[in-house]
Amino acid sequence: MTAIVASIAFVVVGITLVALVERGRTVSGAALIGHSLGLGLSGMAGGLLLLSLLGLVPQPLSAGGICIAGILTLWQLKRRQQLLRLAAVPPAARPAGSTMAVGLVVASLVVALVAMRHGFMDAGLDAIAIWGLKAKAVYLAPLRDAPVFRAPGFSFSHLQYPLLVAFQLAAAYVWAGSPHVATGQVVFVLAYGGMGALAYAAARERLRPWPAAILALALAWLPAQMQMACFGYADTFFVLACLGNAWAAWRYLEHGERRDLVYFALYGAALALTKTEGLVTVAIHGTLLLALTPGRRPRLAVLAAGAVLLAAIAPVWLWLLSIPAHEPSFSQNLNVAFIGANTDRLGYILRAWFQQMTTWRYWGGWFFLPLVVAVLGPAAWRRRGTWWLWAALLGQAAFYCLVYLITPRDLAWHVRDSIGRLFLHLTPLVFLIAVAHLSDLMPAAAVPAPAEPEPADDAADAG
Amino acid sequence: MSDTPVNTPAPAARWRVVVGTVLLLGLAVSVVVPHGRSRGFMRLSLQSLTSPDPGPNAAERVATAYTLYAPEGNVYLRFRDLPADGSQDLTALSYYYRSCYAIYPRRVYVLPTPGPVQVREDLPLDAPIPDAAWLREHDIRCVLTLGMRDGHFGVVDQEFPGL
């Protein structure tokens, strides 16, 4: 019961954020579900995180207050006739849409069932050592008073890791009245379901219904995706936020709508507050977006979105950086001398990458998909968005290789411990690349026009 | 949102649709089939559906142990002998992490001078029990020793300094 109440609270916050971004526009059901879950988990946890920085622990009053503020906002939007509208599903798309929904619900139920019985807090050490412990800590005390962040004995919990997922768990605990593990599991199931719905929305925008459903289900049903969703790791939400962030950047490059920059900033903030690598991922995505956006005014808009994103994450990151570090630092090895002396690591890293790509039981043929579709759908190369997606994928992959190159830990252990999760982070970009190229092979009937076209920048502007 | 279609693509050639369909179906098969071959996850899924309640998971079992041995105060944790089947590092670390989680915000100590615990070597075997003054100062109410007994890893000894 408490899991249902927690889910409703997340969804209310999510719908409010989507309604504020869309302002009376029409959105598809899949996009609404995906964004509501993605932004709901981020918005509620982000709100509680900021309140905790101010000295307030998550409690029904604060979480309920955020929900009530959301409901009042929705009411105001309805009064002004600016509430978002749901797009009608064309009859031809209904069988594929229904199949997608059933497939996703079944997968989510399997994830929930395995998590409850066997997985969560039991399968991987990080689930309890990092996310579970932090969630309990932030639920019991405000950030500045929580002993976990100050005692060296807790350094196994990676004290400087971002805290959004810990606050998502704490937001669920609020409704149980205690840090009850079973209630926390709902967070991972919601993130998993949201990822599937958002993937279908992104694919359906450019593909026919059946190809969109098959591709989105393939992403959701990836064995590694389902297993990770059961085990209480932050990576499932990371995938959802990365998908939302990359889809928004792609749409902005194709349509130039400013609302996509808002989505980019919201999901970017969520990424940067979920895992440390999320911060670098957002930096890569943002830099590439700025580089590939044509015209001065659109570039200024990208910069403005970046500034808002930075302002949102700055208080949390400044606080995290104030925590004493007790672990070997990666940055101390980030110099030419160290990298030059360790180039022999590269062969090991590339072999491990190839081995992971070809591990059929985790990924099927997923990581060969971009190579195949890039050849079969070459017309997509004419669009800036496709270049952005490829550059983001290669940039993120290069960053992860660099991490291994400079790791202060034992390389073999580090690769073995983390490479599966890093590959999981790449799945949304592979998915969007597949959508981009497949849209040449089997396009949707028409690409809808943007609601409010931004003023086009002319060449003089760009100059 | 305007309904005016823009950028309407030319109808795709039939061969393109066929190639795309074959590709997607191949992808779907490549993703679904491994579920049947993934021994661990598939077995867990089927067990979840068919077996009776497997009982508390490892984290819950550890939490239950602490409600018995150390309902209040801090804990001094010692490790005696670890499994000899290659799982010793994982066993010790997971028990330590679960202990820290179970009694938080109370504390688990494994050495008189608490330092970072990152790897198994940070959890000493047969660490000496600190003197009574140290135990009092750190509010240690229970000294638990973990090790192998009858082929199972668990609590092999407990002392209650305050009693």
pLDDT below 70 — which residues of chain B?
Answer: 1-12, 36-60, 86, 114, 162-163
**Partner residue facing B1 (CB), from A140, A153, A451:** A451
CA distance A108 to A192: 7
Q: Tell me, what DSSP letter sits at residue B125?
A: B
Q: Verify whether the Cβ–Cβ distance A128 to B98 is below 8 Å.
A: yes
Tokens standing for A28?
């598809």
Query: Dihedral, CA atoms, B85, B90, B93, B99, nearest 10 degrees?
Result: -90
- Which of A113, A128, A221 should we substitute to test contact with B (largest number of B Cβ atoms within 10 Å)? A128
Instruction: Return d(Cα A273, Cα A42) in angstroms, integer.
Output: 9
Q: Which residue of A has its CA nearest to B1?
A: A451
Residues B2, A308: Cα–Cα separation, whole Å: 29
For residue A375, which amino acid is it? V
Q: Are strands B140-149 and B74-79 parallel, antiparallel or unpaired?
A: parallel
What is the C-alpha radius of gyration for chain A, rounded to an integer number of angstroms?
21
The partner residue sitting opposite B41, judged by closest CB among A125, A223, A365, is A223
- DSSP one-letter string for A439-459: HHHSB-S-EEPPSSPPPPP-H
Residue numbers in B near A118 (CB within 8 A)? 44, 47-48, 54, 57
Rounded CA-CA distance A132/A120 in Å is 10
SS (H, E, C) A135-187: HHHHHHCCHHHCHHHCCHHHHHHCCCCCCHHHHHHHHHHHHHCCCCHHHHHHH
Nearest to A11 by CA among A44, A37, A42: A37
* Residue B151 CB partners (closer than 8 Å, separation 6+): none
Chosen for mutation from B53, B75, B101 (greatest number of chain A CBs closer than 10 Å) is B101
What distance in Å separates residue A215's CA from the closest CA in chain B?
7
- Which of B32, B33, B101 lies closest to A128 in CB terms? B101
Q: Do A136 and B104 touch (CB under 8 A)?
A: yes
Cβ contacts of residue A289 below 8 Å, gap of 6+?
A249, A252, A253, A264, A302, A388
Task: Tell me the nearest-neighbour CA distance from A304 into chain B, angstroms.
Answer: 25
- Most B CBs within 10 Å, among A441, A447, A452, to test the B interface: A441
Q: For residues A363 and A43, give the distance between their C-alpha atoms in angstroms, rounded to a whole number.
A: 31
Return the closest-CA partner of residue A269 out of A258, A288, A285: A285
Nearest by CB to residue A114, choosing from B6, B32, B45, is B45
Closest C-alpha to A40, from A168, A162, A170, A132? A168
B53 and B122 Cβ atoms separated by less than 8 Å: no
CB pair distance less than 8 Å for B116 and A152: yes
> Count of alpha carbons within 13 Å of A137, Cβ hemisphere only?
26
Q: Which residues of B touch A357 (CB under 8 A)?
A: none
CA distance A238 to A401: 19
Closest residue on chain A to B36 (Cα): A361
Instruction: Decide if A128 and B59 are in contact by the 8 Å CB cutoff.
Output: yes
CA nearest neighbour of A343 among A399, A393, A402: A402
Contact indicator for A217, A196 with CB cutoff of 8 Å: yes
Of B119, B123, B121, B122, which Cα lies nearest the Cα of B146? B123
- Among A249, A250, A273, A253, residue whose Cα is nearest residue A262: A249
Q: How are the residues of chain A apportioned to helix, strand and coil, as percentages rounded to the nearest 5? A: 80, 0, 20
Structure-token match 């400044």, residue found? A318
CB A56 within 8 A of CB A4: no
Please answer yes or no on whether A214 and B57 come within 8 Å at the CB atom: no
CB pairs under 8 A between A and B: 192
- CB neighbourhood size of A151 (10 A): 16
Q: Is A432 exposed, middle or buried (0-12, 13-18, 19+ CB in 10 A)?
A: buried
A307-320 b/e (C-beta count within 10 Å ≥ 16 → b) = ebbbebbeebbebb
For residue A211, give the nearest of B2, B24, B48 by CB distance.
B24
Q: Tell me, what's the pLDDT at A192?
A: 94
What is the predicted ipTM?
Answer: 0.82
**Cα dihedral sign, A25-A28-A34-A36:** positive
Contact, A405 vs A220, CB < 8 A? no
Percent composition of chain B: helix, strand, coil (DSSP 3-state, to 5) = 45, 20, 35
Q: Which residues of chain A have pLDDT under 70?
A: 117-124, 445-463
Enumerate the residues of chain A whose CB falls inside 8 A of the CB of residue B44: 114, 117-119, 230
Residue in B closest to A326 by C-alpha: B116
Q: Which residues contact A339 (CB under 8 A, 6 or more apart)?
A: A333, A405, A406
Tens digits of per-residue pLDDT, B126-143?
A: 888 888 899 999 999 889
Reported as a single tens digit per residue, the pLDDT across A168-215 is 999 999 988 888 777 788 899 999 999 999 999 999 999 989 999 999
- Tokens representing residue B98 in the block: 């679960």
- pLDDT confidence of residue A449: 45
Rounded to the nearest angstrom, the minimum Cα separation between A311 and chain B is 31
Tokens of A3: 């899991």
- Identify the pLDDT of residue B50: 57
CB contacts of B48 in chain A (<8 Å) are: 110, 113-114, 116-118
